[in-house]
Amino acid sequence: MTDIQNQTNKAGWPTNGANKILAKRHRTERNFRRLGLTAILIAMALLATLLVSIVGKGYSAFIQTTITLDINFEQEILDPKDTRSPETLKAASYGSVIRNALRTEFPEVKSRIELRRLFGLISKGAVQELRNAVLANPKLIGTTRVFELTASDDVDMFIKGYISRDVVEQDRRIKNNEIVWIDRLQNQNAIQTRFNTRFFTGGDSREPEVAGILGAMVGSLYTLFITFIISFPIGVMSAIYLEEFAPKNKLTDVIEVNINNLAAVPSIVFGLLGVALFLNVAHLPRSAPLVGGLTLALMTLPTIIIAARASIRAVPGSIRNAALGLGASKQQAVFHHVLPLSLPGILTGTIIGLSQALGETAPLLMIGMVAFIVDIPGGVTDPATVLPVQIFLWADSPERAFVEKTSGAIMVLLSFLVFMNAAAVLLRKKFEQRW
Partner 1 sequence: MEPIISAKNVSVYYGKKQALKGVNLDIPENQITALIGPSGCGKSTFLRCLNRMNDTIEGCRVEGDIIVDGKDIYDPQIDEVYLRARVGMVFQKPNPFPKSIYDNVAYAPRIHGLARNKDELDNMVLASLEKAGLLAEVQDRLHEIGTSLSGGQQQRLCIARALAAQPDIILMDEPCSALDPIATAKVEELIEELRASYTIIIVTHSMQQAARISQQTAFFHLGEIVEVGKTEQVFTSPQDSRTQGYITGRFG
Binding site for partner 1 (CB under 8 A): 247-248, 316, 318-330, 332, 336-337, 341, 433-435
Q: Smallest gap, in angstroms, from Cβ of residue 304 to partner 1?
A: 24
Cα 119 to Cα 38: distance, rounded to the nearest angstrom: 56
**CB neighbours of residue 385 within 10 Å:** 28
Of the pair 104, 318, the CB lying nearest partner 1 is at 318
In Å, how far from its chain's centre is CA 62? 15
Q: Please list the residues that pair with 192 across neighbouring strands.
A: 66
Q: Smallest gap, in angstroms, from Cβ of residue 335 to partner 1?
A: 11
Q: Smallest gap, in angstroms, from Cβ of residue 323 to partner 1?
A: 8
Question: The dihedral of CA 194, 189, 123, 179: what is its sign?
Answer: negative
Of the pair 124, 337, the CB lying nearest partner 1 is at 337
Q: Smallest gap, in angstroms, from Cβ of residue 302 to partner 1?
A: 24
Of the pair 12, 247, the CB lying nearest partner 1 is at 247
Cα 104 to Cα 102: distance, rounded to the nearest angstrom: 5
- Please give the DSSP secondary-structure letter assigned to residue 327: T
Of the pair 316, 379, the CB lying nearest partner 1 is at 316
Q: Smallest gap, in angstroms, from Cβ of residue 252 to partner 1?
A: 11
CA angle 401/157/63 to nearest 5° reads 80
Query: Measuring CA to CA, how many Å separate 92 from each of 69, 85, 241?
Result: 19, 11, 64
The answer to whether the beta carbons of residues 6 and 15 sit under 8 Å apart is: yes
Cα 22 to Cα 433: distance, rounded to the nearest angstrom: 43
Of the pair 13, 435, the CB lying nearest partner 1 is at 435
Q: Smallest gap, in angstroms, from Cβ of residue 426 to partner 1?
A: 20
For the chain, the C-alpha Rg in angstroms (whole number) is: 32
